[in-house]
């Protein structure tokens, strides 16, 4: 007889297999009320084993960026996936790396569809596996979709009047805190916004991708 833990382990294995294939590049980000949508650029190393070597600039979500790199440099995705930490099997500890830099305010009452909590964790772990300092702006009210798969998205928004430069870990920390604080439906779904006093925020929400 299958146990609950066996079924859950099988589910995580399926999710892991699915996430090794980047999503389609044809999906467009949904609107964010009161914000303009700007493309996100990524400076990614041609050789992941040599992060200080030649880089290529690609645009879109992290999933789009991976797909573009793998199309130009076959095997790039497989090397990247080997570096990504999968969510742990215990659903209670899906956000074990969360809360390293919590937002100053978290609002779970946002008017968007729910995202899948585990899928958001995958997006967070993808962001943690990328080096570099992303830029957004100048704002205010600019958002870029940094991750989207299985209809679950992470947006990074600049509320400042000047260009904002962060690290991907900063954005991952914010998304992780929101994903944990705003979970619902027995921990399966989440949506919310985490805002920082230095004028930027992270949005976790359902989307089309």
Q: Give the confidence band of 12 by pLDDT, cuts at 50, 70, 90.
A: very low
Q: What angle do CA 188, 192, 194 make, to 5 degrees?
A: 130
168-186 burial, b at 16+ Cβ within 10 Å, e below that, comes to: bbbbbbbbbbbbbbbbeee
Q: The tokens of 83 are what?
A: 């570096």
Helix/strand/coil (H, E, C) string of 53-106? CCEEEEECCHHHHHHHHHHHCCCHHHHHHCCCCCCCCCHHHCCCCCCCCCCCEE
How many domains does one find in the chain? Answer: 1
Average pLDDT taken over every residue of the chain: 83
> Quick check: helix, strand or coil at residue 189?
strand
Show Cβ contacts of residue 184 under 8 Å, excluding neighbours closer than 6 positions: 114, 190
Which residue, chain included where needed, has tokens 């998304």? 175
From the list 119, 134, 151, the residue with the least C-alpha distance to 30 is: 151
Owning domain of residue 11: 4-206
Q: Is the pLDDT of residue 98 over 90?
A: no
In this prediction, residues 155-167 reach a mean pLDDT of: 92
Least confident of 20-24, 96-100, 166-170, 181-185: 20-24
Report field, pTM of the whole predicted structure over 0.75 = yes
């Amino acid at each position: 007889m299958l146990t609950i833990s066996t079924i859950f382990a099988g589910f995580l294995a399926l999710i892991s297999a699915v996430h090794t294939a980047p999503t389609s590049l044809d999906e467009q980000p949904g609107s964010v009320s009161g914000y303009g949508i700007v493309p996100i650029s990524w400076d990614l190393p041609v050789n992941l084993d040599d992060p200080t070597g030649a880089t290529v600039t690609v645009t879109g979500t992290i999933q789009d960026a991976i797909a573009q790199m793998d199309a130009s440099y076959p095997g790039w995705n497989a090397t990247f996936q080997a570096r990504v930490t999968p969510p742990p099997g215990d659903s209670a500890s899906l956000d074990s790396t969360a809360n390293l830099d919590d937002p100053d305010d978290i609002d779970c009452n946002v008017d968007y569809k729910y995202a899948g909590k585990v899928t958001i964790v995958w997006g967070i772990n993808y962001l943690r596996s990328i080096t570099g300092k992303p830029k957004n702006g100048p704002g205010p009210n600019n958002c870029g979709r940094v991750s989207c798969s299985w209809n679950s998205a992470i947006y990074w928004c600049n509320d400042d009047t000047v260009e904002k430069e962060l690290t991907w870990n900063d954005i991952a920390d914010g998304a992780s805190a929101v994903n944990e604080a705003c979970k619902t439906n027995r921990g399966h779904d989440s949506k919310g916004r985490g805002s920082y006093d230095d004028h930027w925020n992270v949005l976790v929400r359902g989307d089309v991708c």
